[in-house]
Structures are given as C-alpha cells and as structure tokens.
Structure 1
Amino acid sequence: MVMGRAYRAAAAGMARPLRDVVNSVNNSPTRPVKVDIWSDIACPWCFIGKRRFERAVADWDGAVEVEFHSFELAPDTPVDFEGSEVDFLAHHKGMDPAQVEQMLSQMTVMAAEEGLAYDFDALRHTKTLLAHQALHFAKAHGLQRELKERLLSAYFEQGRHVGRVDELVTLATEVGLDGDALRRDLEAGTFAPDVEADIAQARAYGIAGVPFFVFDGRLGVSGAQAPETFREVLDRVVAEASA
C-alpha cells in the first residue's frame, strides 16, 4: 500500500476473524487480553488509533497486554527526503497537491481531537526501517511502548528526523534506554530479522494497511476505530474465551 492510500483508507474496517491462525486462547477469565498492533511511525492514523485504543482500554474493566509490530507503509522512501510532506505525497507518490493539502488539514483536525498536535510543515519524511529496529531493541529491554510513543510524537509533532541513528539514540535515551547499546545494534542490524518477521507475519495475515489490531491471535480490527468499537471487541474476545 502506498502512503497516499494509507492516509485515506487506514481508518476503514471492522473486526473480522483471522484465517489460518491457530486459536491458542487461555480460558482463564483473569488473564490479560493480548493485543498485537501492526503500525508504522510514519502513519498518521497509527498515532490517532493508538490514542483511541488507549482510551478504550482505560475505560474497559480488564487487563490488556500490548505488543507493537513493524510495518513499512512506504519502504521505497529515501532516508533523507528533501521536501515537505506535500512534496512527498504530490511528487513522490503522484497525488494531487490540492488534495494533499486538504487531506493533511483534515488529518490535523482529527489528531487535535485526540489531543495530538500534528505539524506537517515541520515533519521530516524518512524511511522508518531503523526506527522499527529501535522498537524491537526497546521491546527486548521492556520499554517498547515508551519508545513507540516518543517516536510518534517526535515525528508528527516535533519535526524530528527518526530515520537517522543519532536521532534515534537521542530519543531512546529520553525514555531510559542505553543509547550506546542501541547504536551498536542499529549499526550491526541486530534486529533487522525481527522487523522482517513482523512484516512477513503481516503479509500472512493479509494486512494491507495500518494500524491493524489482532486480539488474542484470532480477531482482527483494521483502522483507527472509535474507542467504543475497541471495547466491544475486547468484550467479545473475553466472552468467546469464556464460552
């Protein structure tokens, strides 16, 4: 899926069963519901979807375990793209500039409704492969959710360049990670296979756009749904596990 289609379509979709996925549900009513989330740092819907999902969990009577997974919306993006977000979508992706301007304006308003301050004028479009490797490093050290939040905010709200090792190290240290260790692993490509495995699993599930939420390995929700939808799915997962 190209970036332009992702901006327009990632919020569409509802819960549906995932085919060819082994159902390994633990029937204990007290266990957390595992939610695997495929997303990209460069996906505006993913930050909005993250906020809506967090609101759903905060208002839901139960425990949730979250794990983020890698997905590159535009793997052909250069690390150092010279130009604005309008330039990227209009020239690199062939979209109409006026349509892009309108789309980004609407996205900014929707983000603000979730308490997010998107700044597309400052945004530094880049390839997100290294950022995904950094997130796997953070997962290995118990700080994946913290770094995910930091990277999304850095990218969409602060105009930081999340495609460079130096910037990723700086942002990682802000959430308590060992910057020197991260630098070594990024330069060595230590977590590149983990990123590739996530993307391969997304293909196996038939995921074409993000955010995409997988509940207990058997129920998929596509897009930045309303909190009420996420809560309904959580209730459904628990009810089906207890049946």
Structure 2
Amino acid sequence: MTPTDIADPFSRRTFLLGALSAAATVAGCTTSTGVRSPPVPPVISRPILPPTEEELAVMYGAVEDDGILIPAIPYREIDPRFYRQRVANTTGEPDNTVIVDTPGRFLYITEPGGTAMRYGVGIGREGFAWQGEGTIHWRQHWPRWKPPNEMVARQPELARYSIENGGMEPGLKNPLGARALYIFQNGQDTLYRLHGSPEWRSIGKAVSSGCVRLMNQDIIDLYTRVPYHARIVVHQ
C-alpha cells in the first residue's frame, strides 16, 4: 500500500446533493405582490459523514512509505473525536488555511465548498509557546530530528542527536515521524512544528515535549493537502 491509498478514502463517497430545481421562468420567480421566491440552496460537493469502519481500517492500517513500514494503529483505542474526518468549516477561515485549535486538540485544513479536514493532535510544552499567524515555509519527508541546544542542556543524553552532531536519522523512532511542516513568521523560524509521531496514545493529550503531533498516517494525509506557503493560524 502506498500513501496515496490512504490519502482520501472519503473521495469514494463524494457526492452532490441534488439542488432544488429553479424551473421557473423569470416571470414565474416573482409573485404579483413583488415577493421573490426563496433562493436555491448552494450545491454541497462533499459529504460530511463520520468515517466508516472500513474507511478507518484503510486510514490507519499499515503502510509502506519511502521504504519504511509504518505499523497499523489500533484506532479503536483512540477517542473517535480524534479520527481524521471531514467536517463543516466553522473556523471562519478561507480555503487552504491550516488552523490549530490548541485547547480542543484539533487541527483543520479548510477546503473549497464549506468543509474542512479535521485531525486529532497531541500538544507539548513547545506547542503552547507560540500563537498567531504564520506560513508553512518548509516541508520535509522523514526529517532528521535536531533537538535545540536548550533541550540538550536539559537532557544531556540527547547530545548525540544535537545540531552539531547532525541530528537523529529518519525512522520510526524519530520524534518527528514521517513528515514535518515548519512554521515561519515574518521570514523567521518560529521553532513551531507540525509533525508525525509513532506515539498514537498521545493524540488528544498534552504531553511532556514536542510541538503539534499527529499520527503518522494523518501527517502523511495532511502533507498531501497543504499547499506550499500555506497560511497557518494557531489559537491558544
């Protein structure tokens, strides 16, 4: 199975809600009192339905990515609120915006047609350190993890993964997981990251360290949806 196999299982159920017929002529749209008929509701192009058991098995099943086998996630042990799912866009943000709802432990990427994909996330100390608007300036497959010097000072055992030593090589044990999205503001690195994680138990929780973490299967999906230099809004 490849990442494209899990990119969007919802597309199999994409449908158009039938628009109400506007089968009247121009004269028929107005009564003799001058009152116009109600407007035709907009066409909804995407379903807003929770994922089925079959879809969850595909979304969170084992997948090989860049030669690395990502194990299946026991999704039944996760609160269903935090499953990847399409929802109505109630964020007030335009299409192709990433929104991090830190208190709610959700991340959204808004879509055309009034919907958004929502993901459950885990938040760490660094996740509470920044808020506001920025740009996803850099994206990376299977990134190397280079803990900042401040972290190495607190945890000397991480010295072998320091910036000077080239960081930790990519892989399943790497804290940044399968993908990382790097957030910049005014051209400067905020040190705020959206990244994958093998620690699926941390989703929906505030954990000891890290920025905003998603399950590896979810960060792969998010990566395919976020355009280059996408706007990101982080709410604390």
For the superposition of Structure 1 and Structure 2, which TM-score range results when normalised by the shorter chain? Answer: under 0.3
Greater length-normalized contact order (CA 8 Å, ≥ 6 residues apart): 1
Question: Where is the strand percentage greater, Structure 1 or Structure 2?
Answer: 2
TM-score (norm 2): 0.23
TM-score (norm 1): 0.22
Question: Where is the helix percentage greater, Structure 1 or Structure 2?
Answer: 1
